[in-house]
Every structure is written in structure tokens, then in C-alpha cells.
């Protein structure tokens, strides 16, 4: 269903249909699948969610009011500012939009979290300042700086654009001077960062939430598997997770959230190598590796994000039994076949198929024969 851009002078009203009482209104920048899952969770809490996204066919706009306009449209921001709180589900929204909203409305997480997370350099500098291990890195804006960085780090190393990289886009692993020159020719128009290549054993992430009053809660660390830079499978909790590892990362994330005066859900992605954890990236929002929490945790990351930004008590992050989440990428598997798998919960995002596009996910709950059920799903088109 496509919505016409809202161009009238009437903003989305608090009670669009007379008689509907809401427990509050949340404005959201971005209306992708994360917004859609926030909307589903918000409805259960009696919240009204209103989205702003320039894409007329955005997944959240199929379920909730969406203002179709650019993120810097002043009228659209005015409408969003009439919410109890404004949040975001997309970290590449212009920081100026969040700052403009902050003058008029409560915004959570704060714009400074967005500013730090949007630039891989400031993100890694923040990790370093807080004593959070991160790969050695150098800012690169010329071929001479690239050569100097490579001389320090050696091959292989990783060259990334500082901004707007996601799902492995805007980055190259460099293994030779030829590859370095080629990568610089491709990416060098943007400011870059060169990182040490980490020979990790596995990738993990921690989803955390912080309330307005500074209360924190942490989901168990999860194990993530990527292909072509795109998350395919999450196991929750990460197999073999120890209390020591969990406590170590919780300490890192608590420091980060305090530094950023954070309110809402945040994800930290890490590499594990010889029992050491090295922070790669932070996401100032709900995160793909936290989707398991919808059915797998006592409170989902979406509900906890809304609880936090609304100033409500946080919910339990306990994961009673091991579970898994598989992304549907490029195409959706057959609904019937997925639902035949015991403990499978299908989520379709209402997006048209395109290679490499995340279209949905499947969560597998219940510890019994979990690996066998992961294998069954992995053999299906889209979830493989």
C-alpha cells in the first residue's frame, strides 16, 4: 500500500480517529523494518507512532501514519516535534534534523550518540577514550596517509568509508599495494579509516537498554554469522557464553551509554579473538541481531526501546531458552515451509524482493534440536 505524501497543512493528529485514546505519541525518524517492528510493539503498549521517511513505500508506513518527506523538511519536523518523544530507527538521518528536533522536543537517544555513531573515526576514538579495545586505526584522506597507515598495520588491513557504510558496503580488505591503490581510487572521494584486520574466531553483539533515569539492562551476548557483509544468523545466547565475558562487555557498554547520556536501545558489535573482545561498531538503535528478542526474550528490544524513551520502567531481558534468528535476504522462503518447522516465527517486512535486501526474518524458539532446525531453514531459499 502506498501512501500519498502528506502535504496538507494538517499535521497527523494525536487522535486521528475520534475516540481513540493513546498512552503517548512517539515520532520516529526512518520507517524501515526496524520502525515497523517498533510500531507493532508500540500498538500493544497503546502508543501512537508517527514516522518520517522520504520513501513512500516504507515498511513502517504500511502499518502506521507516515509523513513522506525529507528528514530535513521543516514542516515535517514540526509535526514530529508534537510527539511526547522523538526517536530514530535509522542511524544515517542527518544529525541536523535530530538537533533541530532537540530544540523543540524530547529526543532519545540524544543527537550526540547519532553524531558519534555516524563517523567510524569518532566512534573508534570514543571506544579508545573509554578504554574499550578496538582495532588499531588511522584516518586516511590521501594516498600518502594510506601508505603510512599500511606501513604501520601491514597487510591484510581494512579500508572503510568513515560514513554511510552498512552491511559491508564502502569497505575493502587490502592484501597488497595494488589492492590498496585500487581501493583508494574507488573509495578515496570520501574520508576514510584504515583498520587493522582482526583474525577473529567469531562475531558477537550486545544489545543494551538505558532508561531516562540511568537504569540499564543487557540481553545476553549473541553470536552473529555474516555472508557478503550481511547478517544471516544469530544464536542467542552466544554458545559457550561465560559470565566473565558477559560482565566484561556489559562494562564497556555501560561506559559508552553513560558517556553518550544514552536513552533507548543500543547495540555494540564485537570480534572475539583468544577470549579477548574487540569493539567494531556501535548502533544507536534497535539492531538486527536483537530481533530474536521478540519471541526469545521476556521483553523484546523494541518494547524496551519504547519503554526507555517514554520514561517507563524497563522490562526483563532474560532469554529463558537458547534460540536463533535467520534473516531472509533477497527472497522470502515459502511461508508454509517455514511454519512447518517447530518453533519457527516468521516476520515479513512488506518489502519488494531485490538481491541482497533484507526482506524478513525467522526466529526459532525452544532449545530442542535447535541446530537441526537451523539447518532445515538454512536449506530454504532466502534463509540460506
HEC profile of 94-121: CHHHHHHHHHHCCECCCHHHHHHHHCHH
Pick between residue 117 and residue 158 the one whose CB is nearest to ligand AMP. 158
Please report how close the Cβ of residue 383 comes to ligand AMP at its closest, in angstroms. Answer: 19
Q: Is the CB of residue 294 less than 8 Å from the CB of residue 345?
A: yes
| 168 is an interface residue for ligand AMP by CB under 6 A | yes
In this complex, which beta carbon is closest to ligand AMP, that of residue 109 or of residue 135? Answer: 135
Binder among 24, 32, 165, 284 for ligand AMP (CB under 6 A): 165
> Regarding beta strands 24-29 and 85-88, do their DSSP bridges make them parallel or antiparallel, or are they unpaired?
parallel
Please state, as a whole number, how many other Cβ atoms lie within 10 Å of the Cβ of residue 92: 16
Q: State in angstroms the smallest separation of the CB of 29 from ligand AMP.
A: 21
CA 248 – CA 221 distance, rounded (Å): 11
Strand, coil or helix: 135: coil
Contact between 291 and 361 (Cβ < 8 Å): yes
State which of residues 26, 68, 81, 158 lies at the interface with ligand AMP (CB under 6 A): 158
| Distances from the Cα of 277 to the Cα of 36, 100, 233, 298, angstroms | 32, 37, 20, 26
Rule CB under 6 A: choose which of 214, 229, 251, 353 binds ligand AMP.
229
281 is a contact residue toward ligand AMP (CB under 6 A):
yes
Indicate the SS3 state at residue 299. coil
Residues from 116 through 145 that contact ligand AMP (CB under 6 A): 135
DSSP 302: H
Residue among 203 and 303 whose Cβ is closer to ligand AMP: 203
Site mask, ligand AMP, residues 186-225, x = CB under 6 A? ---------x-xx----x----------------------
In the complex, least distance from residue 171 CB atom to ligand AMP, rounded to whole angstroms: 6
Name the site residues for ligand AMP (rule: CB under 6 A): 135, 158, 165, 168, 195, 197-198, 203, 226, 229, 269, 280-281
Amino acid at each position: 500500500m502506498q501512501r500519498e505524501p502528506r502535504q496538507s497543512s494538517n499535521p497527523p493528529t494525536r487522535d486521528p480517529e475520534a475516540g481513540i485514546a493513546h498512552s503517548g505519541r512517539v515520532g520516529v525518524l526512518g520507517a524501515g523494518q526496524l520502525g515497523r517492528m517498533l510500531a507493532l510493539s508500540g500498538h500493544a503498549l497503546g502508543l501512537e507512532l508517527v514516522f518520517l521517511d522520504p520513501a513512500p513505500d516504507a515498511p513502517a508506513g504500511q502499518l502506521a501514519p507516515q509523513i513522506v518527506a525529507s528528514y530535513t523538511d521543516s514542516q515535517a519536523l514540526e509535526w514530529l516535534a508534537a510527539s511526547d518523544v522523538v526517536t530514530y530507527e535509522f542511524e544515517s538521518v542527518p544529525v541536523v534534523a535530530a538537533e533541530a528536533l532537540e530544540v523543540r522536543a524530547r529526543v532519545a537517544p540524544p543527537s550526540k550518540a547519532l553524531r558519534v555513531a555516524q563517523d567510524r573515526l569518532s566512534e573508534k576514538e570514543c571506544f579508545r577514550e573509554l578504554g574499550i579495545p578496538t582495532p588499531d586505526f588511522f584516518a586516511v584522506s590521501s594516498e600518502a596517509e594510506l601508505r603510512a597507515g599500511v606501513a604501520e598495520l601491514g597487510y591484510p588491513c581494512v579500508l572503510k568509508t568513515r560514513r554511510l557504510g552498512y552491511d559491508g558496503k564502502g569497505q575493502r580488505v587490502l592484501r597488497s599495494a595494488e589492492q590498496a591503490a585500487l581501493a583508494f581510487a574507488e573509495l578515496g572521494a570520501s574520508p576514510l579509516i584504515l583498520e587493522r584486520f582482526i583474525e577473529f574466531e567469531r562475531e558477537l553483539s550486545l544489545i543494551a537498554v538505558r532508561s531516562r533515569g540511568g537504569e540499564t539492562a543487557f540481553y545476553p551476548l549473541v553470536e552473529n554469522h555474516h555472508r557478503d557483509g550481511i547478517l544471516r544468523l544469530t544464536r542467542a545466547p552466544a554458545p559457550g557464553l561465560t559470565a566473565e565475558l558477559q560482565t566484561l562487555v556489559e562494562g564497556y557498554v555501560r561506559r559508552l551509554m553513560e558517556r553518550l547520556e544514552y536513552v533507548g536501545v543500543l547495540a555494540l558489535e564485537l570480534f572475539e579473538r583468544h577470549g579477548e573482545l574487540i569493539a567494531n561498531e556501535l548502533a544507536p538503535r534497535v539492531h538486527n541481531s536483537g530481533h530474536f528478542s521478540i519471541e526469545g526474550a521476556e521483553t523484546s528490544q523494541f518494547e524496551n526501546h519504547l519503554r526507555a524513551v517514554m520514561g517507563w520502567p524497563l522490562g526483563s531481558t532474560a532469554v529463558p531458552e537458547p534460540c536463533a534468528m535467520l534473516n531472509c535476504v533477497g527472497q522470502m522462503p515459502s511461508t508454509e515451509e517455514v511454519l512447518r518447522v517447530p518453533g519457527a516465527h516468521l516476520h515479513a517486512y512488506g518489502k519488494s524482493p531485490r538481491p541482497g535486501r533484507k526482506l524478513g526474518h525467522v526466529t526459532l524458539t525452544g532449545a530442542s534440536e535447535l541446530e537441526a532446525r537451523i539447518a532445515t531453514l538454512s536449506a530454504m531459499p532466502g534463509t540460506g
